Amino acid sequence: MVHAQRIPLAALFPLKLCQILTGNEIMKPSPAANLHGRPCMHEDESLIKQGRIKMNEGLARGYATAFLQEQADHISILHWIESPRRAQAFKKFALSSQMENEGRALEVISPLICPPFSKAFIPHPWSKSFKSVAAQLISAAPESEVFQENESGELDYYEKSIFLNNLLYTATSENVEDTLLTVANMSHHTIRRMLERGIADKKSLNYIVRISLAVARDLAQIFGLTSLDQQGAYEFIIPFMGGAFFAETRKVSPGLNKSYQGDRWVFSLRTFYGEDMLKPGHRERMAGMNIEKDGIMRLLWLGQTREMQRGVLQEADVQHLKSWLQANARPTRRNAAVP
């Protein structure tokens, strides 16, 4: 199995990276498919209150803890990787990818990956030249290990957090591959701040967290295409629903003695600021970007306005996001407070 820390965005709604860089447009996913494998990405939006009703600290902490407890333990992924079901799922996909209809692939793969992952879904139109099946899981790690940003890479502290994990099978005329991508992370602290600062409530929390992690995953992969030091620790300010996430590229591990996660670098959402907390310097760094509750990124940059769906990018989208993310980045400050 390929265990990638950073791979091109095309791997989620796939064409090869060379096709992004040569200007070919990535096809949009089937209307019946999406990141969650559900018919409608926005079915939970009605749960999001229009106002900014903030939650007190104690209540927010309780809801954040309950949310983590509702997620599958991250060790379930390791158990699946080490089980016969992993190899069986790959073989079933390899065989079913030779069929003209994707229905059979979903039928035979889903029982082998769910649990721990979601039911399989088709993220990209099934065709003779390219076939794909995907699933995802938000997993919880009650004792995530957060490592120091310096060269020593020593363990700094433990925290509660969640990870977004994307499982993808792809088949072309040349080869069949499977990829497990874990590059987006959110701390318990961040979930609590989202509740305290009014962008989510008990009903909408699941939807908002999933959208936020999907945005973080896409930005993690864009980061991998920038000229920034890929082993460097950076801070970013990501606008979201009028406020902003403060994110970092850093080493965060689910705390397992044996992990598939490789060098452990993730795009980690560390806290959330409400609109009234943002200073002029924050707004200057975020200038041009707007991300609302549907997760669509709208970027006014280099004299052009682009609207980008998560995972579905053209070459110009990638170039704009690379440039904006590089301008947004700052070296991580050691021991900086996380309000």
DSSP string of 111-168, one letter each residue: HHHTTTSPPPB-SS---SS-EEEEEEEEEEEEEEEEE-SSTT--EEEEEEEEEEEEEE
Q: Residue 311 pLDDT more than 70?
A: no
pLDDT score recorded for residue 312: 66
Residue 113: closest CA among 141, 139, 138, 134: 134
Supply the pLDDT for residue 257.
52
As a whole number of angstroms, the distance between CA 330 and CA 52 comes to: 30
Distance CA 93, CA 335 (A): 46
Rounded mean pLDDT, 35-60? 54
Q: Kindly report which listed range (19-23, 44-48, 212-216) carries the lowest average pLDDT score.
A: 19-23
Cβ atoms within 10 A of the Cβ of 220, count? 25
Q: Token pair for residue 42?
A: 């926005």
- Locate the domains of the chain by residue range: 2-39+57-331
Mean pLDDT of 50-76: 87
Rounded CA-CA distance 263/265 in Å is 6
- Are 254 and 144 in contact by the 8 Å Cβ rule? The answer is yes
Mean pLDDT over 61-79 rounds to 93
Query: Which pLDDT score, from 0 to 100, does residue 152 have?
Result: 66
What's the angle, vertex CA 337, arms to CA 154 and CA 278, rounded to 5? 135
* Mean pLDDT value across residues 143-159: 73
- Residue 130 CA neighbour count, 13 Å, CB half: 15
Out of 30-34, 64-68, 123-127, 256-260, least confident range: 30-34
How much is the pTM? 0.82
pLDDT bucket at 146, cuts 50 / 70 / 90: confident
CA distance 210 to 228: 27
| N- to C-terminal Cα separation, the chain | 39
Percent of the chain at pLDDT > 70 equals 77
| Residue 30 predicted with pLDDT over 90 | no
Q: Which two tokens stand for residue 197?
A: 């600062």
Question: For residue 4, what pLDDT band results from cuts at 50, 70 and 90?
Answer: very low
Backbone angles phi, psi at 250, to 5 degrees: -160, 170
Q: Considering the chain, what is the average pLDDT of its residues? A: 80
